Every structure is written in C-alpha cells, then in structure tokens.
C-alpha cells in the first residue's frame, strides 16, 4: 500500500498513544511530504480521528483535512472472513 512517491506518505494508526501518530505526521511534513494520509482499521478508527483533531487543535492549526473516505477490508480469520471498516484521512499543509 506504500506509495513510491516520497512526497506522499501514509501513517497507519494502531494501538499506541495518539501522540505517537501525531508526531509521526508532523515528522512526515517536516521531511517534505506534501500530503500525509492517516489510515486506521476497526476499533482504532476513533484514535485516527483523535490524531487529526489533536494535530489540528494543538500542533498544526493550518493543516487541511481533505476528503475523508470509509471502506471495508475483508480479513480472513479462523472462523471465516470478517469485514473490518477502514478510514482514510488525507492531510495537506
């Protein structure tokens, strides 16, 4: 899923504290990324929204939130396939 274009990058939100991902986004912008996409799946979707809100309100007031998209991933599990929701939040400066 990683893009080759170094000007774009994706931060996958997982189980760490929101601030870890906030700092990861800031670092990407400081390294010259024009667009940083925050992506999360399942229960941590709410954390991805927290990351964007913390970033917007406390660290990068000028960040622009693009078109937020939702989708569904099919995850193969022991008990068959499970549908998991995905959120994609594109950010630009």
Binding site for its own copies (CB under 8 A): 42-46, 49-50, 52-54, 57, 65, 67-72, 83, 85, 87, 89
Choice between 11 and 87, CB closer to its own copies: 87
Residue 40: CB minimum distance to its own copies, A: 8
Choice between 6 and 72, CB closer to its own copies: 72
Choice between 24 and 84, CB closer to its own copies: 84
Reduce the secondary structure of 5-73 to three states and give it as a string. CCCEEEEECCCCCHHHHHHHHHHHHHCCCCEEEEEEEHHHHHHHHHHHHHHHHHHCCCCEECCCEEEEE
Residue 69: CB minimum distance to its own copies, A: 8
Residue 28: CB minimum distance to its own copies, A: 19
């Amino acid at each position: 899923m990683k893009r080759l274009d170094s000007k774009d990058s994706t931060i996958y939100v997982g189980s760490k504290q929101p601030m870890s991902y906030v700092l990861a986004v800031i670092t990407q912008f400081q390294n010259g990324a024009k667009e940083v996409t925050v992506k999360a799946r399942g229960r941590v979707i709410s954390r991805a929204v927290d990351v964007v809100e913390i970033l917007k309100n406390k660290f990068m007031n000028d960040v622009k939130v693009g078109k937020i998209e939702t989708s569904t991933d099919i995850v193969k599990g022991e008990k068959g396939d499970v549908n998991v929701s995905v959120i994609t939040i594109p950010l630009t400066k």
